[in-house]
Amino acid sequence: MALTATDMDIAIVEKVPATVVKTGATTVPAHTFYDIVRKLPEGSQVEMSTSADGGKVTIKSGQSRFSLACLPVDEFPVMAEGDLPHHFTLKSTECKALIEKPSFAISTEETRYYLNGIYLHVSGSGLVTSKRSEDGKSKTLRAVATDGHRLARIEVALPAGTDGMPGVIVPRKAIYELRKLIEESEGDIGVSLSDAKIRFACGSAVLVSKLIDGNFPDYERVIPAGNDKIMEVSRKYFTEAVDRVSVISSEKSRAVKFHLENGKLTLSASSPEHGTASEEIDVTYSSPPMEVGFNSRYLLDMMTQIEGDTAQFLMGDSASPAIVRDTADVGALYVIMPMRV
């Protein structure tokens, strides 16, 4: 049995095992149907049937019985896929990394709609071992998201079938739904796309989404190239310290100040309403002393995506954006803008 749902921006079709006595099609109100099934006992058998005129659907399970009004099947909206000329396959772990790791940086400002998704494209200057372009640089598949305050760039080895693929912006809604599907699927993910739509095949489910019609900004311009002050810190201890100190920072700014000197990082925060806080942790740092401020919430969001035990910060000065790297994932790069503190 195939279940289809759409809001005309995305469409999902999933096949589930069922004993079909008589073939056919019907419609049901999605939220009501979901609530009914959700509240049935675990492992319940569900029986569905339609009335002779097709105007009602009867749902039976145990001693429960529901009768729902439904729309005519020919009035159910259909979201056409159109021609999707580019096809490639990703491992589920690769697809999960490409959509999950940058998603925290997706903008929620509707006025900058072109930032309301993840920019998926082929890059000719990647770090991950992959195919080589004509200029000898490694080619990778990249996913980038930014809200103007922070940026996440994830890359994986370039899969076959991406030749000539256009850069596309996958909307936030599709990203969130795809994350749910990937969690339920362990096999490879088939991806097909054009410059207007994208299709993901995950096991027994298929998701089709419109793409954002806009131009993603030149994000390479905001990635600093000359940051020479390097700090390495335990992800666990750093996350815990930032979380504690940020309790004092104001709700609006969430600012936390870094003071780096002689292998020590002092984190501090202050606000007229709450007072002050500071905490010192050991780090690997041998550059001249420096101070810089960052939004604590942005720092914590980044740390949730760091897989390794150590996070690496590459900094310039108090007015320059910092690069954050995951020592366990060469394909992940994050950028965070500084704050005045």
Tens-binned pLDDT, residue by residue, of the chain (341 aa):
999 999 999 999 999 999 999 999 999 999 999 999 999 999 999 999 999 888 999 999 999 999 999 999 999 999 999 999 999 999 999 999 999 999 999 999 999 999 999 999 999 754 554 454 444 457 999 999 999 999 999 999 999 999 999 999 999 999 999 999 999 888 999 999 999 999 999 999 999 999 999 999 999 999 999 999 999 999 999 999 999 999 998 877 799 999 999 999 999 999 888 899 999 999 999 999 999 999 999 999 999 999 999 999 999 999 999 999 999 999 999 999 999 87
Contact 151, 222 (CB under 8 A): yes
Q: Are 265 and 280 in contact (CB under 8 A)?
A: yes
Tokens of 330: 């060469």
Residues 260 and 281 sit within 8 Å (Cβ to Cβ): no
pLDDT value for 113: 96
Q: Is there a contact between 115 and 218 (Cβ–Cβ < 8 Å)?
A: no
Sign of the C-alpha dihedral computed for residues 271, 274, 280 and 284 taken in this order: negative
Q: What is the pLDDT of residue 274?
A: 85
Chain-centre distance of CA 183, in angstroms? Answer: 13
pLDDT of residue 134: 47
Rounded Cα distance between 321 and 335, Å, is 7
What pTM did the predictor assign?
A: 0.92
* Alpha carbon distance 205, 198 (integer Å): 14
Tokens of 7: 């809001």
Q: How many Cα atoms occupy the beta-carbon half-sphere of 328 within 13 Å?
A: 10
